[in-house]
Amino acid sequence: MKKKAICLLSVLLLLVSMAFPAAAAFQQSVLESVVVVYVEIYNEDEYYGYGTGTGFFVGESGKDPQYLVTNYHVVEYYVATGGGDGSSFLRVFFSQDDIEEAYLVEYNEEKDLAILRLAKPTDKRKPLKLQAPTQDMVGSTVYAVGYPSIADSDAVANPSSRFGKEDATVTTGSVSRLLIQSGTGREIIQTDTATHGGNSGGPLVNDAGNVIGINTFGIISNGSEIETMQYALSVNEVIPLLDRNSIAYELAGESSLPLPLPALIAIGAAVVLLAAVAVVLAVRSRKPAPAPAAAAAAPVPAPQPAPQPMPQRRAYLRSMSPQHGGAQTPVGSQAVLIGRDASSCALIFRSDTPGVSARHCSVSFNAASGEFLVTDLRSTYGTYLANGQRLDPGVPFRLRPGDSFYLGERANAVRVELG
């Protein structure tokens, strides 16, 4: 009798294992929803350079999307130079040769979110579903999708094809914790999924391919980024902006991947067989079942201190040079370059500026310590502190908010600020 029961139970286990699919992997369809967001920066019709980030489309399934989500800091230059009333442009790249102009619908600087739209719906991309992160997602696998290296032409065999959906980068990690950010009240997701500058505004998706967050910022220590401390804004932060502008979107249900009919049938059969085995064993058993032992009391877990959210303020470089008119350049954990090379520098000086090299120096911001790090990149004319001290090439120097430095000549001064 015992052998027959064991056989039946083995069949049950086999049926149940067949009912559930193998562990999910990255949904390739997500690549059908992301684009490069490209900002051409002009000030009074003078070209200053460009900035890039990632965006993803939202909308109704089966319908061509028109609206996309990104970070505010991706489009900040556009806003700072007048937005739609200025001379800068927002572009969406479907590929290197397929570009459309985008328009700013609404932004929230404090939340670091922006909503863009195209002139009309597009059939070149599909919308993604949104799914609010929950505590049971902690430890689950997530994927960051975006364009962190589109400016790195040395790593691409054909630099003219760096903007298509097949060029998006996918990195894998897990959700570390959910928290409320001090100072802003933003709902954020901590993850160890590797992200870098161009990932900003891109989706953080789960195994089902649903967006749970918008990749936004990371933390650095001693000038190096901590890959295990990356942060994404919860989709709960973007939903109010979508609602306020009557933009359609879809929320995934509690179970966004329902079991197929064969799985349900197999589970039903397993339940019936299990019940049959239980009845047979009960009828044929001659020995009374022993009384169940008293259940041991579950240990009461010690209270854990609430995690302390990490404060985050916006860091800027403010050029004091007359050619920039006091323009601000955002800076984060990934170092930004200053110099004359428009293809790589975030703060760009005119090509005829005395004392400034093509790639003169770099600046990053350490949110944990609240300090900036400025590094001279072996420039010809040197990088100097406000007191005239010349920085050693290649050696990072710490600055506090409000400090300033200059490139070659005092007229090329830059101040570091927190806003």
Residue 1 in domain: no
Name which of 225, 369, 224 is nearest 311 in CA terms.
369
- Is 394:376 a contact under the CB 8 Å cutoff? yes
pLDDT of residue 304: 47
Q: Is 278 helix (H, G, I), strand (E, B) or coil?
A: helix
> Do 90 and 190 fall within a single domain?
yes
As for how many domains the chain has, the answer is 2
Q: Which among 244, 274, 296 is the end of a domain?
A: 244
> Do 340 and 216 fall within a single domain?
no
pTM of this structure: 0.58
CA dihedral 239, 164, 42, 386 (to 10 degrees): 90
> Do 230 and 321 fall within a single domain?
no
Boundaries of domain holding 239: 28-244
State the Cα–Cα distance between residues 128 and 205, nearest whole angstrom: 9
- Is 29:13 a contact under the CB 8 Å cutoff? no
> Do 235 and 319 fall within a single domain?
no
CATH number of the CATH domain containing 116: 2.40.10.120
Name residue 51's beta-bridge partners.
39
Q: Which among 244, 260, 282 is the end of a domain?
A: 244
> Do 233 and 330 fall within a single domain?
no
Give me the sheet containing 371-376, strands edge to edge: 347-348, 336-339, 361-366, 371-376, 397-399
Q: Specify the DSSP element, H or E, that contains 263.
A: helix 261-284
> Do 174 and 79 fall within a single domain?
yes
Residue 258 in domain: no
- Is 260:267 a contact under the CB 8 Å cutoff? no
The one-digit pLDDT tens for each residue of the chain (419 residues) are 555 555 555 555 555 455 444 456 899 999 999 999 988 888 777 777 778 889 999 999 999 999 999 999 889 888 888 887 888 889 999 988 899 999 999 999 889 999 999 999 999 999 999 999 999 999 999 999 998 854 444 444 444 456 888 888 899 999 999 989 877 788 999 998 887 767 889 999 999 999 999 998 765 444 444 455 788 999 999 999 999 999 999 998 643 344 445 555 555 555 556 555 555 555 565 555 454 444 444 444 454 444 444 344 588 898 888 888 777 888 888 888 999 988 788 899 998 899 999 999 999 998 888 899 999 999 999 999 989 999 999 899 999 998 999 999 999 999 998 87
- Is 267:16 a contact under the CB 8 Å cutoff? yes
Residue 299 in domain: no
pLDDT of residue 272: 57
pLDDT of residue 308: 45
> Do 239 and 322 fall within a single domain?
no
> Do 233 and 329 fall within a single domain?
no
Is residue 62 packed enough to be buried (19+ CB in 10 Å), middle (13-18) or exposed (0-12)? exposed
Query: Hey, what are 391's tokens?
Result: 């920085």
Residue 121 in domain: yes
Residue 272 in domain: no
CATH number of the CATH domain containing 389: 2.60.200.20
Is residue 185 packed enough to be buried (19+ CB in 10 Å), middle (13-18) or exposed (0-12)? exposed
pLDDT of residue 306: 47
State the Cα–Cα distance between residues 202 and 36, nearest whole angstrom: 9
State the Cα–Cα distance between residues 128 and 61, nearest whole angstrom: 8
> Do 91 and 236 fall within a single domain?
yes
Q: Which among 216, 244, 272 is the end of a domain?
A: 244
CA atoms within 13 A on the CB side of 15: 18
Residue 155 in domain: yes
> Do 368 and 240 fall within a single domain?
no
Name residue 415's beta-bridge partners.
318, 404
Residue 323 in domain: yes
**Region of residue 202 (left: phi > 0; alpha: psi -120 to 50; beta: else):** beta
> Do 215 and 70 fall within a single domain?
yes
Residue 406 in domain: yes
Give me the sheet containing 413-418, strands edge to edge: 328-330, 315-319, 413-418, 404-407, 383-385
pLDDT of residue 398: 93
> Do 323 and 234 fall within a single domain?
no
pLDDT of residue 311: 42
